[in-house]
């Protein structure tokens, strides 16, 4: 099979290019691409537990733990005690990370818009729908166990 005919190869290549573009454009904000999906979930719902972030971001526990440690070091998050469960720490955004939301999301939206600009509106909608279907199928294939 040629690489150009492999869905896995093409999707991986597309994702790596997006990550490079995101990395370059987030650099002035002192954000790393690995932090972005976590921030997206926290900007939507601040105060999630680490376990909830693992579930929502569909990343490995170790990956989330390492990224959160860097984010805490960089003053993007703080960990606070759960009000009802002393064993659980909640991940809360700092003022610094709250002020980065608009700029960071605009950067990602611009990359998406520019990358998809070679497609007409119908093609864009079909492309996104097809990717969602493939993701759902792969979750079934993995028994709903994402990357963890």
CB atoms within 10 A of CB 104: 21
CATH architecture type of domain 3-117: Orthogonal Bundle (1.10)
For the chain of 148 residues, list the mean pLDDT of each consecutive stretch of 10.
85 94 96 94 96 91 93 96 89 97 97 96 96 92 66
CB atoms within 10 A of CB 100: 21
Residue spans per domain, the chain: 3-117
Identify the sign of the CA torsion 18, 139, 52, 109: positive
pLDDT recorded at residue 47 = 95
- 3-class SS at 75? coil
pLDDT recorded at residue 148 = 47
């Amino acid at each position: 099979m040629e690489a150009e005919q492999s869905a896995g190869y093409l999707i991986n290549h597309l994702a790596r290019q997006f990550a490079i573009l995101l990395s370059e454009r987030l650099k002035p904000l002192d954000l790393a691409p690995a932090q972005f999906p976590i921030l997206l979930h926290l900007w939507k719902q601040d105060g999630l537990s680490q376990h909830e972030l693992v579930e929502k971001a569909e990343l490995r526990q170790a990956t989330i733990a390492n990224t959160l440690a860097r984010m805490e070091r960089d003053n993007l998050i703080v960990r606070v005690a759960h009000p009802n469960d002393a064993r659980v720490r909640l991940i809360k955004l700092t003022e610094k990370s709250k002020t980065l939301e608009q700029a960071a999301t605009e950067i990602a939206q611009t990359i998406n818009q520019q990358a998809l600009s070679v497609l007409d509106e119908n093609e864009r909608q079909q492309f996104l729908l097809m990717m969602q279907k493939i993701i759902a199928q792969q979750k079934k294939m993995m028994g709903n166990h994402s990357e963890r």
